[in-house]
Structure 1
């Protein structure tokens, strides 16, 4: 099974890798090499792996993938995960890997948090 990865860099220098297709043992070796070179070349950047497009993760591939993430995060927590499907979280637990620690909080700057204070407590939200 093939896997495609699109690499995007934002204005802050953080890198997001959108992964699509299947992750098996054959794909994890080039992925490990690419992640290692990205982490080395961009030591102050956060590298986020967006797993939303992954349809399949092989048992041999997931073990090597988990080992890669753990190895790269030993020095500094530089690798994060995003859009991880529930079935992949369960498989990660089988490999004694807590993916919840690495999940990106996608709503950490929620601008709607204070809307209730501004608008919800009013008796009338319109004027006659």
Structure 2
């Protein structure tokens, strides 16, 4: 997408910018659904939700339990589930506008999630947003998928992301 096409895809900006965020689970994958605008005015809400998600994940990591003989009461399966790194998909289907602070949010979020050995994937970007992400080569940094289901299932097969080519195939 060139600059002219990107400009034509630019949505008309609403007078009042808001961001709604809801959460759901797809198995072990947490999905954050963003709706509205992701810009400097709404960034604090996005950061707060992400911090809460990561704090909750960190609180669920297994801790040693004291007991007779020094052996904890948790099963191996329970420890594995609770020690799982954060797997997060942000669904952007209903995001109308993003600015540079919103783009920075995704880079910062990916860094924080990677520190916990997790992964962040984005889903359902509109043509305007996908054009911006491609223009600044962000699709090389963050996995982007054309729909939520593909993003969720990709945690089992990481080579199915929307790559830099126009046909959606991954060209690593």
TM-score band by shorter chain is: 0.5 to 0.7
Q: Is the 8 A contact 2:35 2:92 kept in 1?
A: yes
The aligned counterpart of 1:61 is 101
Q: Which sections of structure 2, spanning at least 5 residues, go unmatched?
A: 1-16, 59-83, 155-172
Q: Equivalent of 1:28, from 30, 37, 43?
A: 43
Q: Is the 8 A contact 2:29 2:87 kept in 1?
A: yes
The aligned counterpart of 1:119 is none
Q: Equivalent of 1:7, from 3, 23, 30?
A: 23
The aligned counterpart of 1:106 is 150
RMSD over equivalenced CA pairs, Å? 2.7
Q: How many residues align?
A: 107
The aligned counterpart of 2:130 is 89
Deviations 1:63-122 (A, max 9, x none): 33233233224323422111122321221244442267422571859xxxxxxxxxxxxx
Distance in 2 of aligned mates of 1:88 and 1:77: 24
Q: Is the 8 A contact 1:21 1:56 kept in 2?
A: yes
Instruction: Give runs of ≥4 in structure 1 deviating > 3 Å.
Output: 93-96
Distance in 2 of aligned mates of 1:37 and 1:86: 30
Deviations 1:23-46 (A, max 9, x none): 111211221222122123225341
Change beyond 3 A, Cα 1:68–1:21: same
The aligned counterpart of 1:124 is none
TM-score w.r.t. the length of structure 1 is: 0.65
Distance in 2 of aligned mates of 1:79 and 1:34: 14
Query: For 2:89, what is the secondary structure of its paired residue?
Result: strand
Q: Is the 8 A contact 1:25 1:64 kept in 2?
A: no
Distance in 1 of aligned mates of 2:134 and 2:32: 22
Q: Which sections of structure 1, spanning at least 5 residues, go unmatched?
A: 110-128
